[in-house]
Structure 1
Amino acid sequence: MSLPDVFLEIDRQAPIKVLIVKLSSLGDVVHTMPAVMDIQAAFPHAQIDWVVERGFAPLAARCAAVQRVIPCELRRWRKAFLKSDTRAQTRAEWQAFKADLQRDAYDVVIDLQGLTKSALVAWLARTTPTGKRVAMANRTDGSGYERPTRWVADVAIPITPHIHAVERGRVLCAKALGYAVPTAVNYGLGQAAGQRKPVVVLVHGTSRADKEWPLSHWYALGQRLKETGLDVVLPHGNEEERLRSEALADMLPGAVVWPRLSLDQLTTEMAQCIGVIGVDSGLSHIAVALDLPHVQIYNFDTAWRTGPEGLRRQISVMDCPTPTVDAVWRAWQQCLQA
């Protein structure tokens, strides 16, 4: 039996309410933004709300299509509830979150995460009498998927397994709501106005050691950038990254180590720079969303799933054990020329 292309019949001009459930991580939140913008383009009168971990709430709120962000702290609450001295406070915070979540009734609740925690949030959300909960029907390559997702969903939509993270969310929303996926990709973050600073952000920090690029490579790249008249700035998100940033700044006279900035502040600062070169990390994905010239460095072949896709100003470079400085430099020149 063939599967339908449209799973829900909704009036395009109706003032519908849509709830997006995508809790974390940073890269996943960024990759969800085009799907949210697609919904707004197809349903201009829709109210689109988003449930997300509190740490990523300021970034989700910057997405032009989002009307209301509902922050949660499931990671912290899970640990805090096990401790007797924080249990009462955690219970109060959980009840406040549920009240915020259930303030509005939604015509469509879309779980774009596919995990038990997101299924729980989707289940707790309040729907209209005809409202539906939508989720993926299956796991896709390189991403997690847990069975409660299908238990909660009123409509479970099959997704082709080998698909880019951005396209996965866009296809799911398009199939659920009955519109074609737009050709153009819009993250809803806009672009920096006016002249950008002659500064390149070097994003060396990442959550996994096997994604890192050697310090010697960063030094050689930084030298080349400075020879072309560009300055270098170095962000950091933890103590280890701060020490690496300071070590690089000592090697590259004039390089600036940014202070520890919030995610919102980092996004604002990055938007004013001429471009970004970085490893596979959340900040690199923000660079793509900001439409900055950007080279994304991969030590193994996962760029097809999370890297810049079909964009002229953003290029992924992959090699094993790691890309050379020359390869990254050539890609950077291509980004600037584009």
Structure 2
Amino acid sequence: MTTRILIVRTSSLGDLVHMLPAMSDIAAHVPDACIDWIAEESFAEIPSWHPAVHEVIRVAHRRWRKHWWSAQTRRERAALRELLGARRYDVVLDMQALMKSVWLVRQTHGVRHGLDWQSAREPLASLFYDVKHRIEFWQPAIIRQRALAAATFGYEVQGAPDFGLQAFTDHVTVEPAALVMPSASRDDKLWPAEDWQRVFDDLQGRGLALRLLAGNEAERARARELIQGRDQAQVLPRMGLREVAGELARACIMVGLDSGLTHLSAGLGRPTIGIYRASTPVRTPLQGSAYTASLGERGQAPDAQSVCAAIAQALGA
């Protein structure tokens, strides 16, 4: 008998990557699980890559909130409400525990599971669940999400996390190139140019080409400035998430600031070095099947020497 499951976790990119191992766990432990997932339209590709996910239901909170009462937004919200209202799930699992996710949960039909008052980031969200689970807050996000899924469906978490991204990594040819993400959504996450130069010297000294990622024109300008005068270095054109995932899978190492793409690299099983400056890696460390290093701490960025040492370890030097 099919168990119909709805996962509610809308954003962000890194958070959705952290969710993927829990989907692998559910598929392994819940017979005939049919998993739908509500995700923000900008990141909806991420859950669609997991073979256990049947359908991704798109929402557009980030776009809607700018024009909440416009005619188009009202039509799209009504269509979503009609779609959710027409379906019945055995389990609706809110893995975000925010009031914006509760807004979605309340439109669903099924037994609603979520975090309890002490576990939720926004405790008021717990009031709207039929079944509440206590999960320790200060632990890595991947462990926390796997634990919540296990508590919901009654199994024990076992083994290393499986991100379900083998479609990108099976039969791929790894190239002598380092993928670099020197940009971030906030300026307080940025790393000094002189430190990047030392890292670039190290990578190119190992015979690796440099390929820099950039999401907008300002990021592209910064990236071009960082590699100015360097041979075997390029700023990649703007790409969709699938194309970026392909680039990550082919790179022999990835070095980046704390960003969703850095976490995606780790999930793809690539050696990955993460540079933390404005956030703590305690709750969101890099985790994957290859070597990862989560360097730095909120208010204390790692130095270039530490990053180069991690690169040496990642590449087995």
Shared fold, TM over 0.5? yes
Equivalent position of 1:209 in the other structure: 187
Q: Which residue among 83, 86, 93 is the counterpart of 1:100?
A: 83
**CA contact under 8 A between 1:49 and 1:70: conserved in structure 2?**
yes
Distance 1:289 1:139, change over 3 A: farther
Task: Output the CA distance in 2 between the equivalents of 1:271 and 1:233.
Answer: 13
Q: Which residue among 109, 115, 126 is the counterpart of 1:136?
A: 115
Equivalent position of 1:314 in the other structure: 292
Task: Output the CA distance in 2 between the equivalents of 1:44 and 1:237.
Answer: 40
**CA contact under 8 A between 2:179 and 2:255: conserved in structure 1?**
yes
Q: Which residue among 224, 230, 246 is the counterpart of 1:246?
A: 224
Task: Output the CA distance in 1 between the equivalents of 2:233 and 2:287.
Answer: 30
Distance 1:97 1:287, change over 3 A: same
Q: Does 1:81 find its partner at 2:68?
A: yes
Equivalent position of 2:266 in the other structure: 288
Equivalent position of 1:40 in the other structure: 27
Equivalent position of 2:109 in the other structure: 126
1:260-271 superposed matches below 5 A? 260-271=238-249
Structure 2: stretches of 5+ with no match in the other structure: none
Q: Does 1:67 find its partner at 2:54?
A: yes
Secondary structure of 1:135's counterpart equals strand
Task: Output the CA distance in 1 between the equivalents of 2:22 and 2:138.
Answer: 18
User: What is the TM-score normalised by the length of structure 1?
Assistant: 0.87
User: What is the TM-score normalised by the length of structure 2?
Assistant: 0.93
1:121-200 superposed matches below 5 A? 121-127=104-110, 132-138=111-117, 144-147=121-124, 149-190=125-166, 191-200=169-178
Q: Does 1:325 find its partner at 2:299?
A: no
Task: Output the CA distance in 1 between the equivalents of 2:86 and 2:92.
Answer: 14
* Cα shift at 1:311: 5.8
Amino acid at match of 1:173: A
Task: Output the CA distance in 1 between the equivalents of 2:311 and 2:108.
Answer: 45
After the TM superposition, which parts of structure 1 deviate over 6 Å for at least 4 consecutive aligned residues? none
Task: Output the CA distance in 1 between the equivalents of 2:118 and 2:232.
Answer: 47
Q: Does 1:237 find its partner at 2:215?
A: yes
Structure 1: stretches of 5+ with no match in the other structure: 1-13
Q: Does 1:226 find its partner at 2:204?
A: yes
Computed over aligned residues only, the root mean square deviation of the Cα atoms, in angstroms, reads 1.9
**CA contact under 8 A between 2:254 and 2:265: conserved in structure 1?**
yes
Secondary structure of 1:169's counterpart equals helix
Distance 1:111 1:73, change over 3 A: same
- How many pairs were matched up? 314
Task: Output the CA distance in 2 between the equivalents of 1:313 and 1:103.
Answer: 45
Task: Output the CA distance in 1 between the equivalents of 2:173 and 2:156.
Answer: 36
